[in-house]
Amino acid sequence: SNKNANTGMLLIHSPGMNLHLKMAVNPDSTVFVHPDQPYHFASIGKTVTSVLISILYEKGLLDFDHFIADYLDDAVLDGLHIYKGIDYSNEIRIRHLLNHTSGLPDPYTDKNRQKISLMHRMVAEPDTFWTPLKTIEWGKQQLRPKFAPGKGFHYSDSNYELLGLIIEKVTGMKFHQALHHFIFEPLEMDQTCLLFHSRAKTKSNYPMVDLYHKGLNLSKAKSISMSYAAGGIVSTSEDMLKFHKAIVEGRIISKDTYEKMCDFAKMGPSIRYGYGMMHFRFMMMPRKYNIWGNSGSIGAFMYYNPAMDVYIIGSFHKMGYQVQPIFYIFNILRKINKNKQG
């Protein structure tokens, strides 16, 4: 069997068109596939983390403008953000973490002087377990901040690991307990957990989707523990649809709070990054193709198209596959639009 033939997952859902299409494919016919298999959502976990922060904001437990120094231990804050000889650690606000404007480096992809990033180490040392404190510390020791807080955009997993620690401080719960309590349980996301830290309420009848990279099955590697609050969620297409719909329909957070989460930083020519979510406006294309949601480094995607009321959720299970899903989604929307008019 072809060890590097990864499974593709797809769910297309539109309440307005009464459409619910689900599939799982693998080019290797000997590999078991089922559209209800649990799989890794990688950075889409950032949307879950940002929604949890927003729930705590609604409960009056924190504010987006608060300084992170009010919530974090000195050991975490010490030397966290030193840029051009000035210590900005006490000037980072929660919102800077949420939309990647803190200036903190990204341990996962930014390389140190030896040209090593944690992504390298994840693949090279599959049996190493990482805690958020360990990944944050690695970033402090090995990398340098990019700019003073609020002065630019730089995508960093450290921002979200810090948000995880803030959630623990504010709720008095472990991060995974807070996820289950505030999000998974109320939305009946019974097939969802935080990998290595919690279990899904209902055990799946199907195995977790494998993720092969350079011959290594990363989905079974201890080293992917480095994702935690920046992307450690294992779920199903159906569960993540419940989550995304709850945001769109104003059931998990209010529409008003959602508007606050649309505090955008410019990520790229067509991409704006709010609090744990990306908004795409396709250049040269009608507004009706705009989508918002999130993507993961392994080709996972979760997007909503408001104009046609369509949710598109799934994964290609390919490392470094961030851009391709967007074109794929765009083509799906074009087909749907053609069918609607036809």
| Section 212-228 average pLDDT | 90
What confidence score (pLDDT) does residue 322 get? 75
Residues 247-258 have pLDDT tens digits of 999 999 999 999
Task: Please give the Cα distance from 308 to 80 (Å, whole number).
Answer: 44
- pLDDT confidence tier of residue 233, bands split at 50, 70 and 90: very high
Task: Please give the Cα distance from 6 to 318 (Å, whole number).
Answer: 7
Task: Please give the Cα distance from 173 to 303 (Å, whole number).
Answer: 30
Residues 49-98 have pLDDT tens digits of 999 999 999 999 999 999 999 999 999 999 999 999 999 999 999 999 99
Among residues 295, 302, 189, the alpha carbon closest in space to that of 251 is found at 189
For residue 112 the two structure tokens come to 């140190």
Among residues 311, 306, 317, 307, the alpha carbon closest in space to that of 332 is found at 311
- pLDDT confidence tier of residue 2, bands split at 50, 70 and 90: low
What confidence score (pLDDT) does residue 3 get? 60
Residues 281-328 have pLDDT tens digits of 877 778 899 999 999 989 999 999 999 999 999 999 988 777 788 889
Query: Residue 1: pLDDT above 60?
Result: no
Query: Residue 342: pLDDT above 80?
Result: no
What confidence score (pLDDT) does residue 161 get? 98
Question: Could you give the angle at which helices 45-58 and 237-248 cross, rounded to 10 degrees?
Answer: 40
What confidence score (pLDDT) does residue 287 get? 87
Task: Compute the residue count for the chain.
Answer: 342
Residues 136-147 have pLDDT tens digits of 999 999 999 999
What confidence score (pLDDT) does residue 214 get? 84
- Structure-token match 């590697």, residue found: 221
| Section 99-120 average pLDDT | 96
Task: Please give the Cα distance from 20 to 216 (Å, whole number).
Answer: 33
Query: Residue 135: pLDDT above 80?
Result: yes
What confidence score (pLDDT) does residue 340 get? 78
The residue ranking higher by pLDDT, 170 or 218, is: 170
Among residues 211, 179, 158, the alpha carbon closest in space to that of 9 is found at 211
Query: Quick one: what percent of the chain has pLDDT higher than 70?
Result: 99
Helix, strand, coil percent values for the chain (each to nearest 5) = 35, 15, 45
What confidence score (pLDDT) does residue 325 get? 87
- pLDDT confidence tier of residue 4, bands split at 50, 70 and 90: low
